[in-house]
Structure 1
């Protein structure tokens, strides 16, 4: 990473430079692109690790002076190119931020999400529903870091935009209510948390179906709230629903693989099919399944009265998850960890 200290006296009169991340007065700029500025080296380093290394050279056409256009047609074409670049960068930075969230790297997600928000505002305007995904990533990352006031501010922005755009998708509404539910749970306002998480389940069901894995997150976080309230019967029921949804989903994916590999053409192309099979389980699903099922298994194993059938089903679901993600050693270890009693209990639950 290259840095270059700014010389204030060399700046044109009246020109002010601001930090890419916090908008404070800038004192450092990127020595590669020369068009990105920071308040200090710490913020520059954070941006570099998160996203700037990937987009450094792509910022040059956007932040250098526009050429002189000889005609209105040329000017319009130049503007269209600028918008196209910004749309691409808005999508790229959003994807990078989301991937950091999947990995639990909340701090690294924030700079990329801030870039996504800025590019989206430039393309769509400050009140567009297209800004909501960036606000929600920023909110989720802030909540993950324990920065509740900042997370609430981002959620308020997202909520306000959705209120002004009543035709927002059910998937977007689901994501908003899930984050609001997590915010209120972190503050100990369990009733308000449960209300928003119930809305999360409703909108996710509308968008993806009642048995979709997209619904499982709402159930999981509701179960966590009931667990914290010591309402164990309700929590256990919801945890069971989460396991059932993922178990059924994994069984379906493995069935699809089996049916594909049993066709003569597929057998001849076995290696190619194996390479593409895991595309049916996206990165978000992998991360959520690992988090939810791992937490439920730990909770069930530490219970004062462990229920072998329920433990076996979680273990079997995790084994299928590792198989689908081609982590065969982990899949094998999950199977080997089960006792004969677990196998018997799994058979009683109908686990395959």
Structure 2
């Protein structure tokens, strides 16, 4: 529920033609009925003055609705609209049957993922009789809230990676809502969420809203003197991407240069965290037909990813050998970590496939660089256990490397193909 002066909506996922009940078991007015799939609303509640409420325009006095539950057990209803800046429902805006499509979008985006987590977080909390129980209860609630935030944020990020920014926004707003409650409205924990919301909003063409999210992220960073260079790097990348969306390429280059500088200061000159800024700068120079500069930056990007993936592959093999020596009868290798996060893997695949397209189809064709990008892609797919794709791309790299005057990479590519083939044999 929102404040006294905010809109309040009674929704209920229950059986068709049954009435919602209030949190205390009192039946809600008969006009407030929802179908069993949660997609149809028969009415909404909007505040009048004092404790007076209007249900579909008819006055109704009584306690505000804290929870709407079905006659048998609580359910999580399809959500109402929320504010794009705070994650709360907007003030003074009644929501009724005309917003069903928005609720369905929200449900598909995030509420289907966090429904089971919302009930213990938003529902009435138990009454504890000792200080220890109260402390344990608060800690348990905090863990549940943090789990909800993690699920919402990862879901939003997944939609952005999948090229579905519109679906990412409701999930990110839920992460923002609960992060604000847990960490505070000026916490650095909110900055990555604001940046994600800005990226998703820009992806849907809502540049004005994206600018607001970026301003909020920038304000938090400026108000925090000890903000890490890593987070500042992400902020500048977000500003750079927004400037690209606006068409202001010179401003974008300025922000991306700051991104590269800060990422280098935090992670080192040869880190993959630096490659993102280089990649977006290369795209700008390519667009401006400055091919020499673009070629140099694309080469740097593929080199950083290739070297890092080669190191990750070697580390992965060492862990496999160590595990085999410790437990020679164990055949389950899926739990072995490759040292790569999901975000790194997704960014690496998107960047490397984009660079490959430039190398194969554009004016910057270079067989040696193309072979290196293909090798890197084969490694990242192998580490992600996509063996079929790893074999396909690895064979392309091998065939191309055989045609090069210098065949230094042929041995490492051949070794990778042996690993892929061995893994195929192990899984079949």
Shorter-chain TM-score category?
A: 0.7 to 0.9
Matched, 1:336 2:372: no
SS at match of 2:404: helix
Q: How many residues align?
A: 341
Cα 1:269–1:296 shift into 2, 3 Å = farther
Counting only pairs closer than 5 Å after superposition, residues 339-350 of structure 1 correspond to structure 2 as 340=399, 342-345=401-404, 347-348=406-407, 350=409
Instruction: Give the TM-score, by structure 1 length.
Output: 0.85
More helix by share: 1
Which sections of structure 2, spanning at least 5 residues, go unmatched?
Answer: 1-36, 45-54, 67-78, 84-89, 413-428
Alpha-carbon shift at residue 100 of structure 1 (Å): 2.3
Cα 1:75–1:336 shift into 2, 3 Å = closer
Counting only pairs closer than 5 Å after superposition, residues 1-352 of structure 1 correspond to structure 2 as 1-3=37-39, 4-6=41-43, 8=55, 9=58, 12=61, 19-22=80-83, 23=90, 24-27=93-96, 40-64=99-123, 82-262=141-321, 265=325, 268=328, 271-273=331-333, 275-277=334-336, 279-304=338-363, 306-338=365-397, 340=399, 342-345=401-404, 347-348=406-407, 350=409, 352=412
Bigger shift: residues 210-219 or 260-269: 260-269
Alpha-carbon shift at residue 48 of structure 1 (Å): 1.0
The CA deviation string for residues 133-182 of structure 1, in whole angstroms up to 9 with x for no partner, is: 21111011112223221111100110011101121122211111101001
Cα 1:151–1:213 shift into 2, 3 Å = same
Cα 1:272–1:233 shift into 2, 3 Å = same
- Contact residue 309 and residue 349 of structure 1 kept, 8 A: no
- Contact residue 159 and residue 176 of structure 1 kept, 8 A: yes
> Aligned-pair RMSD on alpha carbons?
3.0
How far apart in 2 are the matches of 1:157 and 1:120? 14
- Contact residue 319 and residue 336 of structure 2 kept, 8 A: no
Cα 1:330–1:278 shift into 2, 3 Å = farther
- 2:426 matched to which residue of 1? none
SS at match of 1:345: coil
Alpha-carbon shift at residue 276 of structure 1 (Å): 2.7
Alpha-carbon shift at residue 57 of structure 1 (Å): 3.8
Cα 1:276–1:78 shift into 2, 3 Å = closer
How far apart in 1 are the matches of 2:325 and 2:400? 40
